């Protein structure tokens, strides 16, 4: 590719490009005319991140100069709810809307003014723009679950506390090898079974090193699973931030680090894929330092970076030893009472065809045993009928820091719920209520009684975390007035009852990572119910967006085309006049709408059906020309009247 062509694509001058390329690690020289296509593609891919880093460095320089001049830098604090529209966020943070939208685009979030962003996105973008964004829980938001666990442990007698295994959360950008890294640690092959090559659930696992157990939590990397990633960070003691040596720091790398930072837990950076030919350790470390201010230890900083290759299984032992070292430093915070009644957090929940409701619980205090009564918020959820470890083997008990699959729930708990032993009241649980989503404009969709169009859904998923992620993604869609209504949701394969429920509500039946029973498929065909099955969440969201786009009514936009002055009336009939006129401005065209004005008042509206200059039919008449036209409408036109010609165009809004 020619350097000039590359510069044109990047919208910069060739000289500017040649000046900056060495800073990116591409020293092609000032006399270079061409670059090979592979290098050009890498430059194009990395350019936005590089320019963002330059902007940050420039901003930091300005702040340093301001401090040197004695100007105090005050970082504003803004409280925002869990979801907020871009417009409201701009008002609350006193940031210019265009600057906020530009920063969102740089972070890979393409949105509109009335679309909602979640707290995590607001926090990340706010940090980039010098605004401290904190969660406003004054509107009755749920108490941070992690604080409940800490309060329970704080009430234990000091003599009963022992050191427990550390809980490690693995986070990072999609496709940077998080699950493959856990595969190397666990000697399993979980990644091969995952749709689209991405993890779509939280998984909890445990291994041993030097005779010491270490628990791991894998979190999904795709952007739709922000809430699940947050839960993973809240139950963890230490984080692994995975960065690919061949790809560097990416938007979700930044997001993952912000979540780790907000959780205030220690972390280790695992630089993965060092076996690949294009791997560049120094470049990756440079991006960590420049974009996240994470300076590696071997560069004189305090960030522990461990080079690994999950594929070649190199550096794994060093990573585990490093995690144990960090755990030793955090020993004071890794305490629990194994003799107390168990308490833990639900990290995943699903319905299994053979086992019924199954939840993965990370035990955080006490020991969970077969036969224990399970409760949440003082309500009995069932009794432990069986416990299994992450390998699916039956176990009798699960001590602190142990992830266990629990069988025996009567109803599926929600991901993030705190489960306790022997504290419940035996009452009947209510069914899940139908859910109405926020339409992205700050009002509940359920309240929109006069919506012109509606998409009604029944959603079945394999796990609660998946269903929650689907709901969260749908709530972010700018629906442009189309109503999205979830009349029912549940777990497990699609059955005949789901088809009947969908038919009764005229709903589309969506299944995520589930199957439809043959009887349900046959019934759906008979009832005319549409069943759609998905394995990739962004394909599901994409189809819903396409349906919304088809239902969105276009805006009618008026476009004035010309103004004419009537000179003479040639013929008048019942619903038609032929008049002579002079074009004052614009281009007169046939088959457009006409307004008749006299002395500043609108008299009549009609249509221009024919346009002539002399005896010839024409497509347009320019300013200053005389023309004859046929007006269809009530014949009220007189010499001296003004005719305003205009068109009405349909404008379809793009769904964000």
Q: Spell 5-21 as b/e; 16+ CB within 10 A means b.
A: ebbeebebebeebbebb
Residue showing tokens 């497509």:
619
Give the pLDDT mean for 242-261: 87
Q: Can you give the pTM of this predicted structure?
A: 0.50
pLDDT of residue 307: 95
If one compares 31 and 222, the residue with the highest pLDDT of the two is 31
34 and 1 Cβ atoms separated by less than 8 Å: yes
d(CA 467, CA 488): 11
Which of these three, 282, 314, 333, is where a domain ends? 333
Give the pLDDT mean for 631-653: 89
Same domain, residue pair 417 and 547? no
What confidence category does residue 230 fall into, taking pLDDT thresholds of 50, 70 and 90?
Answer: low
d(CA 227, CA 472): 8
d(CA 552, CA 477): 13
Same domain, residue pair 204 and 270? yes
pLDDT of residue 72: 42
Is 278's pLDDT higher than 60? Answer: yes
Q: Mean pLDDT check: name the lowest of 7-21, 400-414, 427-441, 448-462.
A: 427-441
d(CA 143, CA 642): 67
Which of these three, 368, 387, 421, is where a domain ends? 421
Alpha-carbon torsion (445, 446, 447, 448), positive or negative: positive
Same domain, residue pair 220 and 302? yes
d(CA 340, CA 15): 69
pLDDT of residue 336: 92
Same domain, residue pair 643 and 583? yes
Is 636's pLDDT higher than 60? Answer: yes
Query: Is residue 427 assigned to a domain?
Result: no
What confidence category does residue 490 fall into, taking pLDDT thresholds of 50, 70 and 90?
Answer: confident
Residue showing tokens 């071997």:
298
* Bridge partner residues of 357 (DSSP): 351, 409
Same domain, residue pair 439 and 460? yes
pLDDT tens digits, one per residue of 496-512: 888 888 888 888 999 99
Same domain, residue pair 318 and 290? yes
What confidence category does residue 304 fall into, taking pLDDT thresholds of 50, 70 and 90?
Answer: very high
What confidence category does residue 427 fall into, taking pLDDT thresholds of 50, 70 and 90?
Answer: very low
The count of domains in the chain is: 6
Is 181's pLDDT higher than 50? Answer: yes
Task: Tell me how many degrees the CA angle 577-578-579 measures, rounded to the nearest 5.
Answer: 110
242 and 171 Cβ atoms separated by less than 8 Å: yes
On average, the pLDDT of the chain sits at 80
What confidence category does residue 64 fall into, taking pLDDT thresholds of 50, 70 and 90?
Answer: low
Same domain, residue pair 301 and 190? yes
pLDDT of residue 141: 38
66 and 73 Cβ atoms separated by less than 8 Å: yes
Nearest to 405 by CA among 389, 385, 383: 389
Counting other chains too, the contacts that 522-530 makes at CB distance below 8 Å and 24 or more residues apart are 523/496, 523/499, 524/499, 527/499, 527/500, 527/503, 528/503, 529/499, 529/502, 529/503
Same domain, residue pair 52 and 129? no
242 and 429 Cβ atoms separated by less than 8 Å: no
Which of these three, 551, 579, 598, is where a domain ends? 551
Alpha-carbon torsion (295, 300, 302, 307), positive or negative: positive
d(CA 35, CA 522): 59
Query: Is residue 152 assigned to a domain?
Result: no
pLDDT of residue 65: 62
Is 139's pLDDT higher than 50? Answer: no
Query: Is residue 239 assigned to a domain?
Result: yes
Instruction: Walk across the sheet containing 435-436 and list its strands.
Output: 435-436, 483-491, 454-461, 508-512, 531-534
pLDDT of residue 143: 42
Return the CATH number at 504.
3.40.50.10050
Same domain, residue pair 253 and 350? no
Give the highest mean pLDDT range of 99-103, 182-186, 282-286.
282-286
Query: Is residue 180 assigned to a domain?
Result: yes
State the residue range of the domain holding 619.
555-651
Return the CATH number at 640.
2.40.30.10
Same domain, residue pair 257 and 370? no
Task: Tell me how many degrees the CA angle 565-566-567 measures, rounded to the nearest 5.
Answer: 115
pLDDT tens digits, one per residue of 353-412: 677 788 888 899 999 999 898 887 667 788 899 998 877 889 999 999 998 999 988 777
Give the highest mean pLDDT range of 134-138, 141-145, 153-157, 313-317.
313-317
Is 328's pLDDT higher than 80? Answer: yes
Same domain, residue pair 327 and 232? yes
Query: Is residue 275 assigned to a domain?
Result: yes
For residue 236, what are the CA distances in angstroms to 122, 230, 243, 345, 624? Answer: 23, 10, 19, 11, 77
Same domain, residue pair 377 and 465? no
Nearest to 226 by CA among 360, 348, 117: 117
Query: Is residue 143 assigned to a domain?
Result: no
- Contact residues for 208 (Cβ-Cβ < 8 A; gap 6+): 214
Query: Is residue 31 assigned to a domain?
Result: yes
pLDDT of residue 149: 74
- Contact residues for 577 (Cβ-Cβ < 8 A; gap 6+): 569, 571, 630, 631, 633, 635, 637
pLDDT of residue 283: 92
Query: Is residue 261 assigned to a domain?
Result: yes
Q: Mean pLDDT check: name the lowest of 103-112, 120-129, 422-431, 601-610.
A: 422-431
Q: Mean pLDDT check: name the lowest of 40-54, 157-171, 550-564.
A: 40-54
Residue percentage of the chain with pLDDT more than 70: 82
Return the CATH number at 185.
3.40.50.300
d(CA 463, CA 27): 50
């Amino acid at each position: 590719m020619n350097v000039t062509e590359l510069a044109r694509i990047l919208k910069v001058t060739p000289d500017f490009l040649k000046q900056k390329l060495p800073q990116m690690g591409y020293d092609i020289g000032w006399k270079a005319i061409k670059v090979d296509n592979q290098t050009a593609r890498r430059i194009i891919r990395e350019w936005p991140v590089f320019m963002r880093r330059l902007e940050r460095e420039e901003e930091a320089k300005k702040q340093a100069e301001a401090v040197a001049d004695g100007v105090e830098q005050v970082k504003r604090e803004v409280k925002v709810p869990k979801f907020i529209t871009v417009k409201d966020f701009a008002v609350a943070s006193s940031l210019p809307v265009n600057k906020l939208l530009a920063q969102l685009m740089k972070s890979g979030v393409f949105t509109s003014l009335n679309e909602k962003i979640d707290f995590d996105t607001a926090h990340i973008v706010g940090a980039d723009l010098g605004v401290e964004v904190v969660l406003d829980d004054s509107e009755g938001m749920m108490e941070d679950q992690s604080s409940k666990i800490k309060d329970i442990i704080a009430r234990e007698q000091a003599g009963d506390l022992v050191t427990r295994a550390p809980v490690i959360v693995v986070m990072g950008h999609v496709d940077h090898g998080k699950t493959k890294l856990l595969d190397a640690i666990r000697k399993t092959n979980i990644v091969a079974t995952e749709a689209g090559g991405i993890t779509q659930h939280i998984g909890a696992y445990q291994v041993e090193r030097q005779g010491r157990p270490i628990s791991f939590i894998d979190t999904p990397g795709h952007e739709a699973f922000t809430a699940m990633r947050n839960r993973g960070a809240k139950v963890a003691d230490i984080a692994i931030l995975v960065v690919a040596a061949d790809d560097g720091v990416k938007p979700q790398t930044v997001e993952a680090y912000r979540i780790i930072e907000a959780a205030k837990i220690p972390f280790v950076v695992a630089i993965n894929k060092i076996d690949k030919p294009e791997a560049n350790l120094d470049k990756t470390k440079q991006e960590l330092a420049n974009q996240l201010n994470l300076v590696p230890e071997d560069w004189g900083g305090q960030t522990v970076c461990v080079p690994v290759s999950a594929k070649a299984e190199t550096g794994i032992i060093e990573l585990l030893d490093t995690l144990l070292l960090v755990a030793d430093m955090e020993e004071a915070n890794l305490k629990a009472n194994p003799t107390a009644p168990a308490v833990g957090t639900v990290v995943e929940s699903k319905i299994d065809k053979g086992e019924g409701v199954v939840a993965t619980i990370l035990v955080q205090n006490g020991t969970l045993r077969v036969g224990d009564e399970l409760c949440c918020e003082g309500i009995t959820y069932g009794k432990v009928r069986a416990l299994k470890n992450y390998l699916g083997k039956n176990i009798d008990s699960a001590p602190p820091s142990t992830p266990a699959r629990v069988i025996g729930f009567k109803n599926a708990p929600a991901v993030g719920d705190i489960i306790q032993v022997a504290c419940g009241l035996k009452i009947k649980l209510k069914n899940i209520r139908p859910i109405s989503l926020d339409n992205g404009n700050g009002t509940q969709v359920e309240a929109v009684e006069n919506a012109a169009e509606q998409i009604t859904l029944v959603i079945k998923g394999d796990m609660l975390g998946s269903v929650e992620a689907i709901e969260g993604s749908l709530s972010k869609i700018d629906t442009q007035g189309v109503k999205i209504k979830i009349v029912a949701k549940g777990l497990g394969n699609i059955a005949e009852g789901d088809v009947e429920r969908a038919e009764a509500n005229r709903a589309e039946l969506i299944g995520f990572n589930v199957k439809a029973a043959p009887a349900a498929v046959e019934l759906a065909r008979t009832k005319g119910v549409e069943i759609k099955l998905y394995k990739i969440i962004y394909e599901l969201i994409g189809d819903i967006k396409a349906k919304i786009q088809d239902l969105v009514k276009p805006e009618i936009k008026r476009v004035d085309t010309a103004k004419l002055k009537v000179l003479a009336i040639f013929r008048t009939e019942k619903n038609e006049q032929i008049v002579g006129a002079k074009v004052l401005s614009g281009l007169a065209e046939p088959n457009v709408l006409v307004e008749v004005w006299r002395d500043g008042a609108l008299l009549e509206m009609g249509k221009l059906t024919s346009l002539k200059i002399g005896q010839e039919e024409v497509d347009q008449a320019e300013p200053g020309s005389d023309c004859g036209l046929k007006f269809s409408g009530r014949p009220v036109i007189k010499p001296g009247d003004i005719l305003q010609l205009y068109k009405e165009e349909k404008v379809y809004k793009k769904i964000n």
